[in-house]
Amino acid sequence: MLKTIERHIIEEERKLGPTSGTFSNLLHDIAVAAKVISREVRRAGINDIIGATGDTNVQGEQVQKLDVFSNELLINMLSHSGRVCAIGSEENAEPIIVDERWAGKYVVNMDPLDGSGNIGVNASIGTIFSILPKKSDGRVAQSFDCLQAGVNQLAAGYVMYGSSTVLVYSTGFGVHGFTLDPTVGEFVLSHNLVRFPDRCKYYSVNEGNAAYWDEVTRRYIEFVKGIGDKPKRPFGHRYIGAMVADFHRNLIDGGVFLYPKDLKDPNKPNGKLRLLVEANPMAFLAEQAGGWASHGTGRIMEIVPTDLHQRTPVIVGNRAEVARYEEIAKGLQ
Ligand code: P6P
């Protein structure tokens, strides 16, 4: 029986108690934006949207044309939805405060197009979103409305533009995945209450950073490779360079993803990934799917943010493997 995301969102909303329906409308708006971005991604080789704009973003990264398209589309849709009061985007230095005439009661932090370096080589990319309540008093949101710990999240999700387009989200009642059926233009339920398998099959890390890792990461990676005095069957290694794609494979097949702190860039002592637009939403999903997400010695979702673009080490996925990493870290303290 075909269950569209619209129907599922309404059913999920009923579990949240009496709300004015704006929450489900917000999730629906994000699903619509995902369909439009998916269309552009699928045509990227044709409609001259591949390539860099020549600009660099606040992260100091090359901006791809599809980054700009996705960011502007999502900001435009969310700003005129009547449901959002502030938007924190990986592409914008400052939060976007929505015009009071359109402002709603939710905050969205997002990475509009994660892994955009993969566009030119036709590898998977994604969109990541985190939904929070407005915290400030008064009608107009403040920039600090985006600076909330992950435990405050009401919902989170991602869209993966891979061999098919999949939207995965949770509102706190488990994780559900929907596959876009391009013949009808609908996201259809394909992964109901998806959870990390108990068996950890893969580890995902950029091995090219091995020379810059600290002792904790070095010891953990040796373990997963079956090296050392307690050899074990090694995990498989898979790394796509887009967090959404690596996370999704590990969620479906069993695995752990790491972007630990490293000494590669003195300006990024906590690794590369952003707390608010990558780590927190993926941590919310991981915990809802029976997994865990740590910054190395503690729960990612308990970090109290001080900057929109602050970074954090990320070890996320199979609960036992994340716990093993934390045990090694605590043993070395
Ligand atoms: P590296 C994409 O740029 C991203 O933010 C994540 O999606 C991905 O996991 C990571 O960076 C890849 O970074 O340094 O391994 O290329």
Residue 80 confidence (pLDDT) above 80: yes
Neighbour tally for 6: CB within 10 Å: 16
If one residue of 114, 261, 268 were mutated to test the ligand 1 pocket, choosing by the most ligand atoms within 8 A of its CB, it would be 114
Q: How far is the CA of 244 from the centre of ligand 1 (A)?
A: 10
Sequence-ordered list of residues with C-beta below 8 angstroms from that of 327, at least 6 positions apart, any chain: none
| Burial class of 14 by CB neighbour count within 10 A (0 to 12, 13 to 18, 19+) | exposed
What's the half-sphere exposure (Cβ side, CA atoms, 13 Å) at 323?
A: 7
Q: Directed axis angle between helix 5-15 and helix 22-42, to 10°?
A: 150
Q: How far is the CA of 116 from the centre of ligand 1 (A)?
A: 9
Residue 295's nearest CA partner among 325, 264, 267, 268 is: 325
pLDDT at 51: 65
- Sheet with 292-294: list strands edge to edge: 236-237, 202-204, 255-259, 314-317, 292-294
Q: Is 185 helix (H, G, I), strand (E, B) or coil?
A: coil
- Residue % of the chain over a pLDDT of 90: 78
167 or 226, greater pLDDT: 167
pLDDT at 85: 97
Residue 135's nearest CA partner among 109, 157, 156 is: 109
Mean pLDDT within 314-319: 98
Nearest-angstrom CA–CA distance, 106 and 88: 12
Helices and strands counted in the chain (H then E): 7, 15
What are the tokens at 319? 């609960």
Q: Is 243 in the pocket of ligand 1 (CB under 6 A)?
A: yes
22 or 48, greater pLDDT: 22
- The pTM assigned to this predicted structure is 0.95
pLDDT at 229: 75
Q: How far is the CA of 126 from the centre of ligand 1 (A)?
A: 11
Provide the pLDDT confidence category of residue 193 given band limits of 50, 70 and 90.
very high
Count the residues in the chain: 333
Mean pLDDT within 217-244: 91
The sign of the dihedral angle between the CA atoms of 186, 188, 193, 198 is negative
Nearest-angstrom CA–CA distance, 124 and 76: 24
pLDDT at 26: 92
pLDDT at 47: 63
Nearest-angstrom CA–CA distance, 38 and 327: 40
Nearest-angstrom CA–CA distance, 155 and 281: 8
> Residue whose CA is closest, atom 16 of ligand 1?
241
Domains of the chain: 5-191 (3.30.540.10), 202-331 (3.40.190.80)
Phi, psi of 296 (to 5 degrees): 125, -40
> Residue whose CA is closest, atom 12 of ligand 1?
241
